[in-house]
Structure 1
Amino acid sequence: MLKTKQYILLGSVGILMAALYSLDIKGLIKPKENEGMQNTATAGDKPAAVVSAESVSSLSKQMINASLAADIEKLEAQLKDASGDNAITLQKEIAKKWDDVNQPAAAAFAYEAIAQEEQTYPNWLTAGDRFTEGYQNFRDTTATAGLLNKAINAYNKALELNPKSLDAQTGLGVAYVSGTQEPMKGISLLLGVVKEDPKNIKANMNLGMFSMKSGQFQKALDRFKTVISVSPTPEAWFYLGTSYENLGMKSEAVLAYQKSKELAADPSLSDFVDRKIKELSN
């Protein structure tokens, strides 16, 4: 059976491309006029649709092997009659099962239930991180607002227990920018994180992406260079190439795109990069 990291690797290119297209950046599709960072709010602009562990679990089971889905259903059935430590043990088993098949939205509800019973900072942070992966990648976009609001709640709970947590501040900042009517509150949180930890990968990565969204490609460039100095991932190199491209720095863009292709070693990304390089070379 494939483990979580393997699933993530297989899906990383698809997620990368989806994220890039959602940014409406010039290097990919034509941006909307006068679109700024203040206009990134979406999910939080209207009441969140009802999202439940049951509905998310049901859809997530459709995306995995039938045998694995049956195993999870057995655990869920046992959970209905469980209480106390036995219930927590079952939630932990369910969370691990969902993690093993890379279904973070479903896993998030199990981690949330664990955190509600075992009120610790690590538990709430894990719940927040899974809800974040959920609202960013879940198949049913009508659940996005509900998952995002749960991420915000989990990170706030984590910060109540550990007010100085940079991880929780980063997760909360990303959530505010991604889908609420307070995007600048999120940017402030992320800037606070990089002030405390200038090399923070997650905060710099997200600040770079939000800078691209608002057309501030020089700022994005600087953020991605910082990320690459610590963790030279194919995603960071690709975003760096996109920033260079939008600044008209074609040769630098080509080199960055090529680096992302080499590191990813994925046919889907390779084909896309080859087309980009051909465009930039004409």
Structure 2
Amino acid sequence: MKKNFIILIVIAVALTGFLYSRPKVVVKDEAKANRDKVSETKTAAKDTEHQESTQAPKLSAEQEKQLSDLKQKLASASNKNALYEQIAQVFLAANRFDSAATYAEKIALADPSTANWMQAGDTYYQAFTLAFRQENVSNYAEKTRECYQKVLDKNPHQLQAKTNIAMTYVQSDSPMQAIMMLREVITEEPSFEPALMNLGVLSMQSGQYAKAADRFKQVVRLNPANLNALLGLGYSLVEMGEKAQAKTIFEDLKKKVKEPTLLEEVNKALESLK
């Protein structure tokens, strides 16, 4: 149960974090190795579960044709950004986030607005989040930081960009930098959900369940509808020996959860508490 719960929250936090910019956390080695087992948590994760371990998601025949046509038009196009955007959208539809990010970056280089750099950073962050091989994790982390830094140069208070940059340091040579940056974010905005959620997940990963529970409780107070925070709180309470409280949370979650994989994990948790 432990592995699956942490990975489920990790993926969910990452993919829902984009609601704030339009965040993932990088899991530690054990969770990272098992990511494909629970990647059905979100459609994007489901379709990319074997992207790194076997091969990238295949493009459909229609998508291949779309890309071919769009790339032919690039040679003579006066407005390449419009075509870059269309190409990026085709790759996004196929969950090829690395390829989509390349074109999102081209758009930002040609038109360096904050919004374009944020889009490029978000897309590289998705690629980073779902990367399996360490070399790709490192490469996408660096590209993510580069794009988001362009945003922060123009707007130092873009907290989602800073939160996502922080999470690219979790598996780096400076993992404490992630914690420090997240703390900076919540110092600036104590109610910023993505940073609080990420701090909770990092506490879970390091076995600091009391701290994790405190973070998730903060999120639930801010947003009672945050099912991921409730999931994290329930599991943290189990690890703290507060099984009665955890059972109440899981029973409530069972009534609210629609996603099959998450529901399955909640049922397993309840079964283990009998």
TM-score (norm 2): 0.75
The verdict on how the C-alpha distance between 1:131 and 1:263 changes in structure 2, with shifts beyond 3 A counting, is farther
Q: Which residue pairs with 2:173 in the alignment?
A: 181
Kindly state the Cα deviation for residue 268 of structure 1 after the two structures are TM-superposed: 2.4
The verdict on how the C-alpha distance between 1:249 and 1:279 changes in structure 2, with shifts beyond 3 A counting, is same
CA contact (8 A) 2:163 2:195 kept: yes
User: In the alignment, residue 65 of structure 1 is paired with which amino acid?
Assistant: S
User: In the alignment, residue 98 of structure 1 is paired with which amino acid?
Assistant: F
Kindly state the Cα deviation for residue 218 of structure 1 after the two structures are TM-superposed: 1.3
Pairs within 5 Å for 1:180-259 = 180-231=172-223, 232-259=225-252
| 3-state DSSP of counterpart to 2:109 | helix
Kindly state the Cα deviation for residue 138 of structure 1 after the two structures are TM-superposed: 4.0
User: In the alignment, residue 255 of structure 1 is paired with which amino acid?
Assistant: T
1:99 corresponds to 2:67: no
The verdict on how the C-alpha distance between 1:237 and 1:20 changes in structure 2, with shifts beyond 3 A counting, is farther
CA contact (8 A) 1:166 1:193 kept: yes
CA contact (8 A) 1:111 1:123 kept: yes
Which consecutive unaligned segments of at least 5 residues does structure 1 have? 1-11, 30-54
Kindly state the Cα deviation for residue 22 of structure 1 after the two structures are TM-superposed: 4.7
Pairs within 5 Å for 1:100-119 = 100-119=93-112
TM-score (norm 1): 0.73
Deviations 1:230-253 (A, max 9, x none): 332332221111111111111222
Q: Which residue pairs with 1:74 in the alignment?
A: 69
Deviations 1:211-263 (A, max 9, x none): 11111111111211222233323322211111111111112222223333333
Which consecutive unaligned segments of at least 5 residues does structure 2 have? 1-7, 15-23, 35-50
Kindly state the Cα deviation for residue 122 of structure 1 after the two structures are TM-superposed: 1.5
Kindly state the Cα deviation for residue 126 of structure 1 after the two structures are TM-superposed: 1.6
CA contact (8 A) 1:60 1:106 kept: no
Deviations 1:85-137 (A, max 9, x none): 52111111122333344443332221111111111112111211111111112
1:170 corresponds to 2:153: no
User: In the alignment, residue 260 of structure 2 is paired with which amino acid?
Assistant: P
User: In the alignment, residue 250 of structure 2 is paired with which amino acid?
Assistant: Y
The verdict on how the C-alpha distance between 1:15 and 1:203 changes in structure 2, with shifts beyond 3 A counting, is closer
Supply the distance in 1 between the matched residues of 2:73 and 2:132 (Cα, whole angstroms).
Answer: 27
Aligned length: 237
Deviations 1:45-91 (A, max 9, x none): xxxxxxxxxx99xx6551x5332343133323433x256x5211111
Q: Which residue pairs with 2:80 in the alignment?
A: 87
Q: Which residue pairs with 1:7 in the alignment?
A: none
Give % identity: 29
